[in-house]
Structure 1
Amino acid sequence: MYDLAILWDWTAFAVRWLHVITAVAWIGSSFYFIALDLGLKRDIPGPADGEEWQVHGGGFYHIQKYLVAPDALPEHLTWFKWEAYSTWLSGAALLMIVYWVGGELFLLDPTKADLALWQGIAISAATIAVGWLLYDALCKSKLGDYPTSMMVALFAIIVAMSWGLNQVFTGRAALLHLGAFTATIMSANVFFIIIPNQKVVVADLKAGRTPDPKYGKIAKLRSTHNNYLTLPVIFLMLSNHYPLAFGTEYAWIIASLVFMMGVTIRHFFNSMHARKGRPHWTWAVTAALFLVIAWLSTQPGMDSYDEAEARPLTAIEAQFANAAGFDAAYDTVIGNCSMCHAREPVWGNMQWPPKGIVLETESDIARHAKLVYLQAGVSHAMPPPNAIQMDPQARADIVEWYRAATGS
């Protein structure tokens, strides 16, 4: 039986898969062209700015770069833009599915800010857009002539945004939104700056004019910015699988340090591709930063789980808590899930509840009804079979309760 919850979960999976596919394509082409540009041999005769010989897949490739443009427009010209556009569009769709439609569970944290769902969604949308506006203003200001100073200013904005997001959203949503904030800057660079500048050059070639080299320089600078922002974005997008990254009051500092790690890692590879040596000190700095992050993740711990909440049920929680079969489902979850999904787990050496999901009180279980239904009702994903063998009737109790609450 395919009810709405199952169809919606598969829809989310399909969009997530699309997002990963397009992101791999974008990141791959971005890293390749940065490495190619840095590794070009510049001491060649002729109008080309540099060339590179490469071997791959049994064949040899001879690549030449023109600083501004060739004398004539080639008959076939490949544009690299749809990878960026489709990555952002699929990511925006996934954010809406998980954090807007599922906002009461994954987006809002009532212990931080008393917000209605529409207010949380408005803040979510605004923070994504504001990042590009601030960054673009920096690039176009006088500070844009000083790349290092400009990136320091951008880092300050990222730290401030990281702190601000953690004041209103769940830790998971805060880190994800910081990633979306940064990814929007990267995609907008392609859409508003890099591609339009390239189109100006193409239009000049078609009209027989000599293209202005400033357009290429601006596009290359923005592409370099994207190169340094990529790795932190990947970390932030993966962070929702690891409560140690987002489930602490220092999550905003952790996210900020991740951007520094992104810079050190890319500096190593960019230096290597440019044949300027291999600065191994960057790996020592990266390792040190990672150790600091690991330490911060346990200082003082996951404040959101300190104690069970004593508050009235929300409307959605009441819908599931008052549904037929809730008592049986509640007993099933307490007996099969709560040893791990507790504020203080008692299973093995577990420090924090998996994925940050707590299932102890009636409000906990009612709030996570859909996840319980999908993970332990219609599927056998939870609990792990080596932890506990869940009785088929117990799973049936969960299914009957959820469907009674939703009328499915």
Structure 2
Amino acid sequence: MNDFAVLWDWLAFGVRWLHVVTAIAWIGSSFYFIALDLGLTKRPGLPHGVSGEEWQVHGGGFYHIQKYMVAPASMPEHLTWFKWESYATWLSGFALMAIVYYAGADLFLIDRNVLDVSAPVAILISLASIGLGWVLYDLLCKSPIGKSDTGLMLLLYVILVVMSWGYTQLFTGRAAFLHLGVFTATIMTANVFLIIIPNQTIVVADLKAGKTPDPKLGMQAKQRSLHNNYLTLPVLFLMLSNHYPLAFGTRFNWVIASVIFIIGVLIRHYFNTVHARKGTPHWTWGLAGVLFIVIMWLSTVPKVLTGEERLSAAGERFVASTHFPAVRDAVMGRCAMCHAAEPGYDGIHAAPKDVFLDSDAAIARQAREVYLQAGRSHAMPPGNVSGITEGERRLIVTWFEEAR
């Protein structure tokens, strides 16, 4: 059993590493081509069909790049396609989600205080939501509103905000952020697999058949590519967030996720503007910084918004008890290794069930659960992994029953 656990953990590590490697390859090529596209310049005398060109220097040499909006008069002998980076990123990411969140659904995916469902049902909800995201997005892009880039982007943002809230009503905070990232990344990869590459394939086939390719195919692919460009940075944040409970484990986590999309767009706007040689909008970094401070503030669950300005009268009694110092030492030593903002127990990345026991106030607020789970029963710690003693359990019972 221990050997299997070790192998499974290394499998997760290996797949995570693969996911990072393929994501770097995909994001790197995506950013490069967006920057290249924005930096193209027109000049008299360009070959027929060329919309712009650019000179670049790198690695001790010079590159002369020209872009054909439809296709050149004849196909080159060697044509490089950029698609496997995207496919490998999504496949490795989905495999990682299955290894961590589906195989460990009871710990990482399901919060029965949020939605009390079985692991198979939670997994089905997960899969359905991811597929639904692409279907809804694709329908909107192909609808009349898809002709307005601004209107489409605003509507898509509203959908992302709704999904940010919706996922927090279904899963743990950690899983909610991860699913929002997968929801968005699935749209991005499906854009490549179902729109961008098929459209380019049709263009190549038409050219070989001596037909004039439809320019709309290129315009459609360019719109989807632009969406991918603006969605990349928020996805990176969401994927990294599982290491930071202050991002996903707070009451306003869905608001934080919604604001992150705006920050990502601001940063991409800066780089896109610079690459297009249309100025240097430094204000985007200033506004992004302000918004980041806002989400830092939201992560502390402001008391003015939650109404939790001080402990209840019962909570004050628990803290004032003569037994509390000893109880606090026991809870801090036996429970807080998992139930903390930054758990120290191996394999635990967020406080289970969002229960925190890392401060006097937190212990007092959870007094009843500590009493039931670790005092009156042996439910916690699981398997008594932290070695809580019978004396400590009796002390918790005495403390709670006297202060109640």
Q: Is contact 2:343–2:350 with CA below 8 Å preserved after alignment? A: no
Q: Which residue of 2 aligns with 1:218?
A: 220
Question: What SS is found at the alignment partner of 1:187?
Answer: helix
Are 1:174 and 2:176 matched, yes or no?
A: yes
2:292 counterpart SS class? helix
Counterpart of 1:128 in structure 2 is 130
Aligned length: 338
Where in structure 2 are there 5+ consecutive unaligned residues? 312-329, 358-369, 388-404
Rounded to whole Å, the distance in 1 between the matches of 2:152 and 2:332 is 55
Kept in 2, the 8 Å contact 1:44–1:51? The answer is no
Match of 2:99 among 97, 108, 133: 97
1:398 match: none
Q: 1:144 corresponds to which residue? A: 146
Q: What is residue 27 of structure 1 aligned with on the other side?
A: 27
* Paired amino acid for 1:356: A
Aligned-partner Cα distance in 1 for 2:25–2:207? 29
Q: Flag structure 1 segments of 5+ consecutive residues without an equivalent.
A: 308-332, 348-352, 377-393, 395-408
Q: Determine the structure 2 residue equivalent to 1:4.
A: 4
Matches within 5 A, 1:33-44: 33-44=33-44
Distance (whole Å) between structure 2 residues aligned to residue 156 and residue 236 of structure 1: 17
- The one-letter code sitting in structure 2 at the alignment partner of 1:146 is S
1:325 is matched with which residue?
none
Quote the offset at 1:342 in angstroms: 3.8
**Contact kept? 2:35, 2:275, Cα under 8 Å:** yes
**SS of residue paired to 1:127:** helix
For residues 67-105 of structure 1, the C-alpha deviation after alignment (integer angstroms, 9 at most, x for no partner) is 111000111000000000000000110111111000000
Higher Rg of the two aligned structures: 2
TM superposition score normalised by structure 2 = 0.79
The equivalent residue for 2:351 is: 356
Q: Distance in 1 between matches of 2:167 and 2:380?
A: 23
Task: Give the structure 1 partner of residue 382 of structure 2.
Answer: 366
8 Å Cα contact 1:128-1:184 kept in structure 2: yes
Q: For residue 188 of structure 1, what is the amino acid of its counterpart?
A: A
Aligned residues of 1:248 and 1:300 also touching (Cα < 8 A): no
Distance apart, 1:355 and its partner CA = 3.6
1:230-245 alignment runs, 5 A limit? 230-245=232-247
In the alignment, the residues of structure 1 paired with residue 274 and residue 237 of structure 2 have an alpha-carbon distance, to the nearest angstrom, of 23
State yes or no: 1:68 paired with 2:70.
yes
CA change 1:364–1:57 in 2 (3 A) is farther
Q: Which runs of 4+ in 1 moved over 2 A?
A: 333-347, 353-365
My pick for the range that moved more, 338-347 or 164-173, is: 338-347
**TM-score of the pair, normalised by structure 1:** 0.78
Question: Secondary structure at the residue paired with 1:80?
Answer: coil
Amino acid at match of 2:247: A
How big is the shift at 1:340?
4.8
2:57 partner SS: strand
The 1:85/1:249 distance shift into structure 2, 3 A limit, reads same
* Residue aligning to 2:18: 18
Shift of 1:249: 1.5
Which of 168, 191, 202 is residue 189 of structure 1 equivalent to? 191
Contact 2:343–2:351 (8 Å) recurs in 1: no
CA distance in 2, matches of 1:42, 1:345: 53
Supply the distance in 2 between the matched residues of 1:287 and 1:335 (Cα, whole angstroms).
35
Other-structure match for 1:58: 60
2:314 aligns to what?
Answer: none
Partner of 1:268: 270
Q: Secondary structure at the match of 1:49?
A: strand
Q: Deviations over 1:230-254 (max 9, x none)?
A: 0000000000000000011211110
How many angstroms does 1:61 deviate by?
0.9
Which residue number in structure 1 is paired with residue 291 of structure 2?
289
> Partner letter of residue 215 of structure 1?
L
Distance of 1:258 and 1:137 partners within structure 2: 25
Q: Distance in 1 between matches of 2:137 and 2:101?
A: 24
Deviation at 1:344, TM superposition (A): 8.5
Q: Distance in 2 between matches of 1:44 and 1:27?
A: 33
Offset of 1:284 from its aligned partner? 1.3
- Pairwise CA distance, 1:107: 0.2
Whichever residue aligns with residue 26 of structure 2, its letter is: W
Find the residue that maps to 1:3 and give its secondary structure: helix
1:20–1:103: structure 2 CA closer, same or farther, 3 Å change rule? same
**1:340 touches 1:354 (CA, 8 Å); kept in 2?**
no
Question: What fraction of aligned residue pairs are identical, expressed as a percent?
Answer: 61
* Distance in 2 of aligned mates of 1:54 and 1:258: 33
Residues 31 and 344 of structure 1: CA distance in aligned 2, closer, same or farther (over 3 Å): closer
Any conservation in 2 of the 1:245–1:254 contact (CA below 8 Å)? yes
Alpha-carbon distance in 1 for matches of 2:343, 2:140:
50
Residue identity opposite 1:100 in structure 2: Y
The alignment partner of 2:169 has SS state of: helix
